[in-house]
Amino acid sequence: MIKEYDVVIIGAGPSGTACAYNIKRFHPESKVLLLDKSDFPRYKPCGGGVSPEVQNYFDFDIESGIDSVCDEVVMIANGKNITSKKFPLWMVRREKFDTFLLDKAKQNGVDFISSCEVIDIAKSKPLSQVLTKAHGDFLTKVVVIAEGGRGKLAKKLKISVENTVLAALEYEHYTNKLDGKLYIDFDYNDSGYAWNFPKSDGLSLGIGGFIKGQDKGNIGLPKQLLNYSNKFNVDVFDKKNLHGHPIMLYSGRQKLVHDNIMIIGEMAGCVDPLTAEGIRPAIKSGYLAAKVIAYSIKNNKPKTLINYDIAFHKEIGKEFYYARIMSYFLNKNLKRILPMISRESAINSFMSVFSGKSTYQEKINFKKIMQLIWKSLF
Ligand SMILES: Cc1cc2nc3c(=O)[nH]c(=O)nc-3n(C[C@H](O)[C@H](O)[C@H](O)COP(=O)(O)OP(=O)(O)OC[C@H]3O[C@@H](n4cnc5c(N)ncnc54)[C@H](O)[C@@H]3O)c2cc1C
């Protein structure tokens, strides 16, 4: 007999675990199944910079799942260093952090199956069927797709979101030569930035760049990252620690609820288009979906699932709209604008948004930006 659930969540990254945990938190009687094709702990290419604001989406102490706290950020542009020490950021190792969140979900009563790849979803009312490669099928009232930037299911079902794709490369350099500082460097790439995110046992070195038309697959990131890594005494890459991964940036309002199928996390385009921050928004999208799902199941009101669409655009999309405009201006004029915003006040504003102390809506002054662009032209 096919097993039946209230909710099946596909993907146990931060969005999936936040969703699973919070559904049980808001509706403890619900039957929730979480599936992931990987075996945990699993590596995920990521700088691992997390805003402490994520604590708002859980009722347990999340700090015990992090690797370290970084309280000095250095931005580098045109060889000039600007430091911000006002806004501490959490650093996480994803293999540890994601497993920590997964364990919390399991302790809260969520069923979990690892090494369980979902290959299809047969959409139907009132129950949809989730088909897996090796663990049989499941019937469920709600399906949540939390498959991350490399997922294939939403595409297969033709409900995927159109995102702007950023190519990214990450190198994990394990060392004890550490200064504890986080570096963001604009001098190594014309359409993005390079980063060094410190961990207690090494450095997560990375670089990101936009994929444009015929450049696809050939934007020279490995060479740029190696040049950058030389700064931190890395002369050759140990291939097993080098990981490429696309990042799906938010690119405008799109449909995330399709009857009883919902999309959360990066597959929903839930990544800040200016900074490529994805963990906090993924967790927030999981939390918002959980609230809506718990209500819908508790009150047997499937039609209310659509409220996730509304909540997402109110709580996340609106903020990303501002980030998108900023990103557009910066990308068009990066070389001209950078010298003008290379100031402590600018990096403090940026860090206050990243750390969750303020919002883009509060910090962005479009009149000032237009003046900067105008000034940069003449
Ligand atoms: C190089 C790089 C650096 C980054 N640095 C940062 C950073 O410093 N800070 C930050 O906030 N964000 C960063 N991001 C973005 C961040 O990593 C992601 O946005 C975030 O992990 C998205 O979470 P998620 O839960 O949506 O998906 P994921 O974390 O990708 O999890 C998806 C899960 O779904 C599973 N899955 C996929 N398909 C299936 C299937 N068919 N069946 C079963 N399971 C499936 C996968 O195994 C995976 O475990 C970075 C991204 C990259 C690529």
Ligand 1 closest atom vs CA 246 = 53
Q: Per-residue pLDDT tens, the chain, 378 aa: give them.
A: 899 999 999 999 999 999 999 999 999 999 999 999 999 999 999 999 999 999 999 999 999 999 999 999 999 988 889 999 999 999 999 999 999 999 999 999 999 999 999 999 999 989 999 999 999 999 999 999 999 999 999 999 999 998 888 999 999 999 999 999 999 998 887 778 899 999 999 999 999 987 655 455 556 889 999 999 999 999 999 999 999 999 999 998 999 999 999 999 999 999 999 999 999 999 999 999 999 999 999 999 999 999 999 999 999 999 999 899 888 877 777 777 777 777 888 888 888 998 889 998 888 776 766 676 676 666
Q: Name which residue sits closest to atom 18 of ligand 1, judged by CA.
A: 278
Ligand 1 closest atom vs CA 169 = 1
pLDDT score at 220: 82
Distance 300 CA to ligand 1 centre (A): 31
Distance 98 CA to ligand 1 centre (A): 10
Ligand 1 closest atom vs CA 279 = 11
C-beta separation of 216 from 60 below 8 A? no
pLDDT score at 378: 61
Distance 23 CA to ligand 1 centre (A): 20
Distance 148 CA to ligand 1 centre (A): 5
Ligand 1 closest atom vs CA 264 = 26
Distance 335 CA to ligand 1 centre (A): 30
Distance 266 CA to ligand 1 centre (A): 7
With the CA atoms of 33, 108, 294 and 136 taken in that order, what torsion angle do they form, in degrees rounded to the nearest 10? 10
Q: Name which residue sits closest to atom 33 of ligand 1, judged by CA.
A: 11
Q: Name which residue sits closest to atom 27 of ligand 1, judged by CA.
A: 148
CA distance 87 to 357: 8
Q: Of the residues 21, 22, 37, which should be mutated to test ligand 1's pocket, given the most ligand atoms within 8 Å of the CB?
A: 37
Residues with beta carbon inside 6 Å of ligand 1? 10-16, 35-38, 44-50, 117-118, 146-149, 151, 153, 168, 170, 197, 206, 245, 247, 265-266, 271, 276-280, 282
- The whole-angstrom distance between residue 260's C-alpha and the CA centroid of its chain comes to 24
Q: Name which residue sits closest to atom 31 of ligand 1, judged by CA.
A: 13
Ligand 1 closest atom vs CA 266 = 26
Identify which of 200, 288, 266 has the alpha carbon closest to the alpha carbon of residue 45: 266
pLDDT score at 245: 93
pLDDT score at 214: 46
With the CA atoms of 105, 35, 95 and 108 taken in that order, what torsion angle do they form, in degrees rounded to the nearest 10? 10
Q: Name which residue sits closest to atom 26 of ligand 1, judged by CA.
A: 265
Ligand 1 closest atom vs CA 118 = 42
Beta bridge partners of 165: 248
Q: Name which residue sits closest to atom 21 of ligand 1, judged by CA.
A: 279
